[in-house]
Amino acid sequence: MWANAFTTAALVLSLSACGFQLRGHDLVNSGRLYAITGAAANTQFAEVVRRELADVNVLTDASGSADVTIELLSVRRQQVDGAVTAEAMLLEQAVRLDVEYRVLGAGQTVITPDQRLSRQRYFRLDRSNLLGTAAVKEEIAAGLEQELAAQLLRNLNVLQQSLAAADGD
């Protein structure tokens, strides 16, 4: 029993010593509230980001009470054709997701100018199962939204560290 407790404590200490942090950790400890606004604030991607921020209890609905505002300028989802056969039949397609955003502080001052996140993933077409292919395409799009939301949170964590350093000066 003591050996397990000692091993767990040693693991926690070694992880904290090497700089390991949980996703959203800086956002949780920042004491700042985040809001999502902008032309693309009603997209599926915005909902994924809202869920992630709500999971770490730093989301507010009122942008006026937010310390930091994520302004989603655009979220574009595209279908891109890929490889074709010798008979010019399409073999694969890609789902591409592009997100443009900027981060605003109190008083709508620009903290981070316009940023762009982008991901693309190919999938094979199954002409004998068009419904299955459509489901695969939706699953890939949802995965891309989750990946880009995680990247946005990582960017916010870096920004949070910069803000904390500036507040400490």
* Contact status, residue 63 vs residue 45, Cβ threshold 8 Å: no
Measured at the CA of 55, the angle between CA 15 and CA 75, to 5 degrees, comes to 105
What average pLDDT score do residues 64-84 get?
A: 85
In sequence order, which ranges of the chain are alpha helices (DSSP H)?
Answer: 2-17, 25-30, 44-55, 130-168
Which amino acid type is present at position 145?
E
Q: Is 91 inside a domain boundary?
A: yes
Q: Is 17 inside a domain boundary?
A: no
127 versus 12: the higher-pLDDT residue is 127
Whether the per-residue pLDDT at 25 is higher than 70: the answer is: no
51 versus 83: the higher-pLDDT residue is 51
pTM above 0.85, yes or no: no
Q: Is 11 inside a domain boundary?
A: no
Q: Is 151 inside a domain boundary?
A: yes
Whether the per-residue pLDDT at 45 is higher than 50: the answer is: yes
The chain-wide mean pLDDT, for the chain, equals 79
133 versus 59: the higher-pLDDT residue is 59
Q: Is 144 inside a domain boundary?
A: yes
Whether the per-residue pLDDT at 126 is higher than 60: the answer is: yes
The pLDDT, as a whole number, for residue 163 is 76
Whether the per-residue pLDDT at 106 is higher than 60: the answer is: yes
Domain assignment of residue 66, given as a range: 23-168
The confidence band for 128, taking pLDDT boundaries of 50, 70 and 90, is low
Cα–Cα distance, 72 to 61 (Å, whole number): 15
Q: Is 37 inside a domain boundary?
A: yes
Q: Is 80 inside a domain boundary?
A: yes
The pLDDT, as a whole number, for residue 137 is 84
Count Cβ atoms within 10 A of the Cβ of residue 9 and give its class: 0-12 exposed, 13-18 middle, 19 or more buried.
Answer: exposed
The pLDDT, as a whole number, for residue 9 is 41
Q: Is 15 inside a domain boundary?
A: no
For the chain, how many structural domains are there in total? 1
Q: What is the CATH number of the domain that holds 27?
A: 3.30.160.150
